[in-house]
Amino acid sequence: MSLILHVDDDTVMRNLVSGYLKDLGHDVVSAENGLEGMKLAEDIGPDLILMDIDMPVLDGYAATQQLREKGYHGLIAAVTASERVKDLANAVVAGCDDFIPKPLGDDFPDLVKLILQRKDEIGKEELLTEDEFFD
């Protein structure tokens, strides 16, 4: 069982993801924008953050980057409807470990399980800088 923070400005999406994750036996906390998510992450130290990208107040890129700068070393997965490699690369550069595509499909629980399997490897690999990523 893991503690998962889900950050998304869409109420239906928050409820849907929360339902899926609780069904898998995880504890779930939700936030409705990047700023709120960042504060909650600092308070609760989740094992995984599912981060929407396009949000008001503070978007997913900025929230992820700031969390990494503040020393958060847990897993962060971008949840995005974008298929553009550039957007996904930006998410990785900001500090995301993986991504989950929207709309969510039946494979969502399996994707979360796969990402959480990497929990034990945290800290073993250094985050890439933007220059290193594009090298």
Partner 1 sequence: MIDDSFIEKLKVEFLESTEDSLDLIEEMINQSLQGQVGNDKAFEEIMRQVHSIKGTAASVGFPITTTIAHRLEDYLEGGTSITEPLGSGVGQYCDKIRGIISDGKEPPASETASMLRSLPMSHDGGDFDINVLDVEVLLVSPSKMITKIVRNELMQCGFRVVRAVGAMEAFQLAVRSQPDAMVFAQTLDELAGADLERAFKAMALTSDKPIGVLTSFSLDHPAWHGLPEDVMIIRTGRIHFPDDMGDFLAHIQSEFL
Q: Compute the distance between CA of residue 27 and CA of residue 116 in angstroms, rounded to an integer.
A: 13
Residues in the interface with partner 1 (CB under 8 A) total 22
Question: Contact between 81 and partner 1 (CB under 8 A)?
Answer: yes
Judged by CB under 8 A, the stretch of 16-24, 38-46, 114-122, 126-134 that binds partner 1 is 16-24
Closest Cα partner for 44 from 96, 98, 4? 4
The b-or-e profile of 63-76 (16+ CB within 10 A means b, else e) is: bbbbbeeeebebbb
The window from 34-42, 62-70, 97-105, 120-128 that contacts partner 1 (CB under 8 A) reads: 97-105
Q: Of 29-68, which residues contact partner 1 (CB under 8 A)?
A: 54, 56
11 touching partner 1, by CB under 8 A: yes
**Cα–Cα separations (whole angstroms), residue 118 to 48, 75, 86, 125:** 10, 8, 24, 11
| Positions that interact with partner 1 (CB under 8 A) | 9-13, 15-16, 19-20, 23, 54, 56, 80-81, 83-86, 102-105
